[in-house]
Amino acid sequence: MNDYEINWQELLDETLPPDHRSGFVAVVGRPNVGKSTLLNALLGQKIAIVSARPQTTRNRITGILTTDDMQVVFVDTPGIHKPKHKLGEFMVEEALASMPDADLILWITDVSKAPRPDDERVASVLRAQALPVVLVMNKIDIASPEYLLANSAAYRALVPDAVADIAISALKQRGTDAILPLLRQHLPPGPRYFPPDQVTDIQERFLVAELVREKALQHLREEVPHALAVEVERFKRRANGMIYISARIYVERETQKAILLGKGGSMLKRIGSDARKEIEAVLEERVYLELWVKVKPKWRRDAAELRRLGYA
């Protein structure tokens, strides 16, 4: 995955069908409902990290899907929740900021559970927007049949003006084929905003940092993940065809650093090995990855640190 320079004249000269549709689709919902899993499934490749931990996504992530008669620019957002610190405030602001410029909103819910206060919080925001909403009820693969109908009805009741609703499993890719025709039906006529082969506008350094954080989330205990941030300090393509990457992982306490390092550095080595393989698969290049750990007390509550780490 390489960074793109858009050839605007090529886009202007492009011949598109008269009924070509395009637009920006904000993917919203409370934490841990499968927003990033769905985005990766729709794009057919990984651009957003996923884990079983809530609040995995911290920044807006753009995914671009182009077909012969449509271009959809998805904006994957952090989960909307009641924030407990400045990082949480930033994440909610990122999600809310994605909506005003959207043409359509995909509200992702977990239909295996009844609506929670955060779902009601999302619904309240959506009702205040003068935008079409498609309700996507995810996780039908783990939903109990006896509660599925009641939960579905409860979510529909929260957005009675939704233009459509659909039940899917993003993880198992059940029902996801019906989403694109549904989007085309509700997107306005328009041009292509990006080249047809571009899948995202995120930078490689950002993607690398996210993949390292994903592997840390997958390996670490409950105490550490939310207090963890990753900064790529060096990213250099060398003459031998290998990319040299040096990244620093920040935590808030010495006890968290000890857990992250593991006995004799074993945990950090495991995270680094898994991250390197994932980075190589995504970038399609050989990678040499070095990881370091540093304690930054209360960085999630420090506005200056948040800005430096890109959460601002």
Q: Which long-range contacts (CB under 8 A, 24 or more apart) does 304-312 make?
A: 306/86, 306/87, 306/90, 309/229, 309/231, 309/250, 310/59, 310/206, 311/58, 311/59, 311/87, 311/90, 311/91, 311/229, 312/90
Q: Are residues 121 and 159 in the same domain?
A: yes
Q: What is the DSSP letter of 67?
A: E
Q: Are residues 90 and 177 in the same domain?
A: yes
CA pair distance 81, 126, nearest whole angstrom: 14
Q: Look at residue 251 and tell me if it is in a domain.
A: yes
Q: Look at residue 19 and tell me if it is in a domain.
A: yes
Q: What is the DSSP letter of 226?
A: G
Q: Look at residue 73 and tell me if it is in a domain.
A: yes
Predicted TM-score of the model (pTM): 0.82
Interval 238-272: pLDDT, tens:
988 899 999 999 999 999 999 999 999 999 999 99
The CATH number of the domain holding residue 18 is 3.40.50.300
pLDDT band at 11 (very low <50, low <70, confident <90, very high): low
Instruction: Answer with the one of 152, 186, 220 that is the final residue of a domain.
Output: 186
Domain of 28, in residue numbers: 8-186
Q: Are residues 179 and 213 in the same domain?
A: no
Instruction: Answer with the one of 135, 155, 186 that is the final residue of a domain.
Output: 186
Q: Look at residue 13 and tell me if it is in a domain.
A: yes
- Count structural domains, the chain: 2
Q: From residue 175, give the alpha-carbon distance in Å to each of 33, 36, 38, 125, 182.
A: 16, 16, 11, 26, 12
Q: Look at residue 293 and tell me if it is in a domain.
A: yes
Sign of CA dihedral 177, 182, 184, 187: negative
Q: Are residues 59 and 168 in the same domain?
A: yes
Interval 20-61: pLDDT, tens:
999 999 999 999 999 999 999 999 988 887 877 767 777 888
The CATH number of the domain holding residue 222 is 3.30.300.20
Q: Look at residue 198 and tell me if it is in a domain.
A: no
Q: Look at residue 3 and tell me if it is in a domain.
A: no
